Structure 1
């Protein structure tokens, strides 16, 4: 059985299944999901918990021994397998198939993994577990989905928030679900009649948005002008060295310039972009997004404009070193917005 995370509570209230597989790359939601399952299990008499971290050389025999060692008077037990890569290996696959071939009603198997790809989901051990249990794939929450997620978190405890309040919370805690949860708990204490408005949020919620240079690059490649201005301002306020930002921007522009030359030689766009993304060493689950961002940027960037941007990076570098006069941060913003799609820079050489 495959469920969304928002369907889990209702399922647990109906029936506690013998197997739960929680899979995803969003730590807060994965932890929240695991906590719900453990709580319902404890309320159902599963008083013991054994946690196994599956790494290279893991002893699957120990896991099976614990699963099969209940005595007549022993408590029910939660067997929690944490498999970061999501692949138990051949020994693990055999052990899981053996476990599920004669499951005990006194055991509950909770498996927590990173995002599982299609290959794993088609494996024999996974299908066997999913057939008798519940699979909960968890996906990161996008910015546009965050207000809805916040609203749902409040509704669970009988609270509500105005649309403006939800938008303001989402802006302040962007992408940080742990911070969002902490702020909601604080806002519940301040709410009047269990209602949270924008004024309450304005006074109470800190700005938990935290950015790095790579998020700036992603926003620029995506063409998100507003986000570029916001992130660059935060990086400046946090004292990030302009040299670091310039290095990252220049690297991205050189990559796009290289892509532009490949395309002019007749190489297929998708192939050229994917190869370039792989060269930068992105892990598989990030490669798809990176490829998409590069594709967006190269479609709106001419080879001439990219050359002008590279020349402009040299100008900024000279300003940083004191060899030319100019406001480095203003120039950095100009370069970033040009990369994001604003009118081309004209550099006189």
Structure 2
């Protein structure tokens, strides 16, 4: 059964489930959810703990044996199954389904998983975790840019600190996309600051620029029409050494989708239906992002931007003149519906 992260603490005050699965891509939030489950087990005297790291050569009989055997001292046990790849082998699927059918008594199984895409969630083993009675499935979502200021305020309050709006804005800029760095910086500020008030000057002097960006965050910002944010994320990717062809691949993929949907809408197909029938499927909040973006420009313009992407590809290959990163910035801004000034160079 699904369990929201916000409900986890209250849930753990009651009887523990036989199985917990924590799924997500943010290291800090996933770690904190797992830590809360471990702490609840310790509080109930689950004194024996076994950790299994699942790789390509993992022997799934180890899980079967752990589930079937009694604790050496007849104590409560916590079994941890860490699955960084997210998709078990066929023997793994069989072992997991068998375990979920007959979970042992006095044992909690904690699975650590990356974010499962829509296709993976439909697999038998994943559906057994998400919908089964034996398991509480905790889907951890990242904190996006819009939510980050409030998240930082809450974390600062937990540390006994309060910050001015300017200080919050600076913390957002310095730590966006890296919650672990944000928590570390808050702890450092707690030790350094006299009193409990933070201003922008204090943050400016104390906090390193720990912002990390990913390609899919850039694409979402462009689709949302957040031009300045998208441009900053593009510069962040460039600074982190991401290659231009990777960025172009992501932008071109979105442009093909937008051009197709705009054409279908022009043929009289309702946009909502076109989005629902898109292949590969569009899930969750991205449906709204894509829908708004499609209506930002006519179909002919989306097709023309695909031509711009082709020209950038020629620049990357040395077949056309021009600054590749400036061209990528211009393309990003046009997807976002803006013509902000480009960065120098």
State the TM-score bracket (shorter-chain normalisation): 0.7 to 0.9
In the alignment, the residues of structure 1 paired with residue 173 and residue 190 of structure 2 have an alpha-carbon distance, to the nearest angstrom, of 18
Gaps of 5+ in 1: 279-283, 344-349
Query: CA deviation digits over 1:56-105, x for unaligned, max 9?
Result: 86224312233xx235x4554322234535997454333333235xx23x
TM-score (norm: length of structure 2): 0.73
> Counterpart of 1:305?
301
| 1:110 counterpart SS class | strand
Q: 1:57 to 1:273 in 2, by over 3 A?
A: farther
Aligned length: 325
- Does 2:27 correspond to 1:24? no
Structure 1 residue 318: deviation in Å?
A: 7.1
In the alignment, the residues of structure 1 paired with residue 178 and residue 75 of structure 2 have an alpha-carbon distance, to the nearest angstrom, of 38
Contact 2:21/2:129 (CA < 8 Å) preserved in 1?
no
| 1:143 counterpart SS class | coil
- Does 2:170 correspond to 1:165? no
- Does 2:227 correspond to 1:229? no
> Counterpart of 2:103?
99
Q: 1:32 to 1:172 in 2, by over 3 A?
A: same
In the alignment, the residues of structure 1 paired with residue 319 and residue 249 of structure 2 have an alpha-carbon distance, to the nearest angstrom, of 17
In the alignment, the residues of structure 1 paired with residue 38 and residue 219 of structure 2 have an alpha-carbon distance, to the nearest angstrom, of 40
Gaps of 5+ in 2: 340-345
Query: CA deviation digits over 1:119-174, x for unaligned, max 9?
Result: 879759964325xxx66443222222222322333344444434433332122211
- Does 2:129 correspond to 1:129? no
> Counterpart of 1:62?
65
Structure 1 residue 302: deviation in Å?
A: 0.8
Query: Which of residues 330, 335, 339 is equivalent to 2:335?
Result: 339
| 1:80 counterpart SS class | strand
Spell out the pairing of 1:125-274 with structure 2 (5 A cutoff): 127-129=132-134, 136-237=138-239, 245-246=247-248, 248-273=250-275
Larger helix percent: 1
| 1:144 counterpart SS class | coil
In the alignment, the residues of structure 1 paired with residue 246 and residue 87 of structure 2 have an alpha-carbon distance, to the nearest angstrom, of 32
In the alignment, the residues of structure 1 paired with residue 159 and residue 208 of structure 2 have an alpha-carbon distance, to the nearest angstrom, of 22
| 2:177 counterpart SS class | coil
> Counterpart of 2:343?
none
Contact 1:29/1:138 (CA < 8 Å) preserved in 2?
yes
TM-score (norm: length of structure 1): 0.73
CA RMSD of aligned residues (A): 4.0
| 1:46 counterpart SS class | coil
> Counterpart of 2:78?
78
Contact 1:222/1:296 (CA < 8 Å) preserved in 2?
yes
